[in-house]
Amino acid sequence: MRRQPLITGTRLSDGRELIYFDDPGSPPRQHMADTRRLTGRAPEGELRYDELSGEWVAVAAHRQSRTHLPPADECPLCPSTPTHASEIPDPDYDVAVFENRFPSLGPGLAELPGSLPWGVAAAAAGRCEVVSFTSDHSGSFADLPYERARTVVEALAHRTAALSSLPGVRQVFPFENRGADIGVTLHHPHGQIYAYPYVTPRASQLGAAARRFYDHADGKATLLGSLLGRERAAGERMVLEGSHFSAFVPFAARWPLEVHLVPHRDAADFTSLTGEEKDELASVYLSLLGAVDALYATPTPYIAAWHQAPLDPLLRPATRFHLQLTSPRRAADKLKYLAGSEAAMGAFITDTTAEQVAERLRAVLGQAGRQPAGPGPAGSRLAGPGPRGNHSGEDEA
């Protein structure tokens, strides 16, 4: 059984929480104090209710002054040095999680009403955290050794549990924005976690469809489980299959590059995964990111969105944890921009077919050296077109 990472908590000089997650077997951390004299927490933003759409909008004007693409020697995610005090006081670390200095939500916590009248705003309750994957400034998640990727998975499970227990939190969303074309403000490999005081519009939409399917199946099947079964049976859009997770390009993919990584059994979030499932998740995720980067001569910009079941009691039983990995890159030198139809109407038009994208990903995965180190999925294999057994219904546990 894999040993757990060593977890050490502390506080930054303005009171924000910082947690180190060191790889198993690391010596106890003698963490350093934050020597900066920060002037206090950022002012809290607002939440405004849009009556036209029935959606919440966060107003965070204080984020205009946040750090933007600093040089490497001024990076806030690199370890502190004698000449530069960063967000990480220690001279080295494996994985670090801390409260965002410029949060969109929080630091206050509160129950949000179902709506607010026009002209009335609420405090932007919730929490925003930064997850730094490594102390190395260069590279990306795909470059992490297996053991480090596995520590990140454990950190995301730990933070999901902690944030889900906070007063007023209704949804916990870990994600990574990678690449300047996505709009990142820091080059250092990192992700974020948002703890929302409401269920987001996309999660509400997906949750409603999942609940309808769940009710029609008398609570015996989930929509995403059924879709995974159908994709595995068809085969032409499958990318890889493991013992616990499989990845496919969805039939109605919206983005030029879109892959869903889905567990074979119903799991609500990171905290619901077993140790073996976390082991495989770290391995297949590294494989998937390696394939995405191998499609072109330069690194591919992407958004890794970890969809977790909302804490809403109606939506949670019907919603299955999964990764949605998307990129706007439609060719080596072309990006897809959301213009009139997509941005204004939410009606997506894609320039590629799901089958072509899946075939390209399978091809690069099949090349030598694309499989990551680590225990990984012992029974994993590249997927391929054509029926491969009976996976047409809900997947096996």
Q: What is the DSSP string of 4-30?
A: PPEEEEEE-TTS-EEEEEEPTTPPPP-
Are 63 and 182 members of one domain?
Answer: yes
Are 194 and 215 members of one domain?
Answer: no
Record the tokens describing residue 378, joined without a space: 């012992």
Are 99 and 128 members of one domain?
Answer: yes
**110, 114, 142, 137: which is closest to 126 by C-alpha?**
110
Has residue 397 been placed in a domain? no
Left, alpha or beta for 138 (phi > 0: left; psi -120 to 50: alpha)?
Answer: beta
Are 103 and 168 members of one domain?
Answer: yes
**90, 111, 91, 87: which is closest to 99 by C-alpha?**
87
Q: How high is the pLDDT of residue 374?
A: 61
**Which CA distances in Å does 105 have to 148, 197, 238, 261?**
28, 9, 37, 28
Are 255 and 325 members of one domain?
Answer: yes
Are 54 and 122 members of one domain?
Answer: yes
Examine the fold and report which residue of 177, 198, 219 is the final residue of a domain before the chain moves on. Answer: 198
Q: Are strands 190-196 and 127-132 parallel, antiparallel or unpaired?
A: antiparallel
Has residue 239 been placed in a domain? yes
Q: How high is the pLDDT of residue 368?
A: 42
Are 322 and 217 members of one domain?
Answer: yes
Has residue 206 been placed in a domain? no
Examine the fold and report which residue of 167, 198, 229 is the final residue of a domain before the chain moves on. Answer: 198
Are 303 and 190 members of one domain?
Answer: no
Q: How high is the pLDDT of residue 392?
A: 46
Whether the full predicted model's pTM is greater than 0.85, yes or no, is: yes
DSSP state of 348: -
Are 156 and 221 members of one domain?
Answer: no
Residue 240 C-alpha from the chain's centroid: 19
Residue with tokens 């480090």: 148
Has residue 62 been placed in a domain? yes
Q: Please check whether residue 95 is in contact with residue 155, taking contact to mean a CB–CB distance below 8 angstroms.
A: yes
Examine the fold and report which residue of 198, 219, 253 is the final residue of a domain before the chain moves on. Answer: 198
Q: How high is the pLDDT of residue 66?
A: 79
Has residue 291 been placed in a domain? yes
Can you tell me the distance from the alpha carbon of 224 to that of 266, in angstroms, rounded to the nearest whole number?
Answer: 9
CATH number for the domain that contains residue 302: 3.30.428.10
Has residue 203 been placed in a domain? no
Has residue 235 been placed in a domain? yes
Q: Which domain holds residue 75?
A: 6-29+47-198
Segments of the chain scoring below 70 in pLDDT? 1, 368-397
Are 122 and 222 members of one domain?
Answer: no
Can you tell me the distance from the alpha carbon of 93 to that of 280, in angstroms, rounded to the nearest whole number?
Answer: 24
Catalytic residue among 158, 187, 188, 190: 190
Q: How high is the pLDDT of residue 391?
A: 55
Q: How high is the pLDDT of residue 378?
A: 44
Tell me if residue 137 is catalytic.
no
CB atoms within 10 A of CB 124: 26
Are 284 and 193 members of one domain?
Answer: no
Has residue 41 been placed in a domain? no
Q: How high is the pLDDT of residue 382?
A: 66
Q: How high is the pLDDT of residue 393?
A: 47
Task: Name the domain count of the chain.
Answer: 2
**204, 215, 395: which is closest to 309 by C-alpha?**
204
Are 102 and 220 members of one domain?
Answer: no
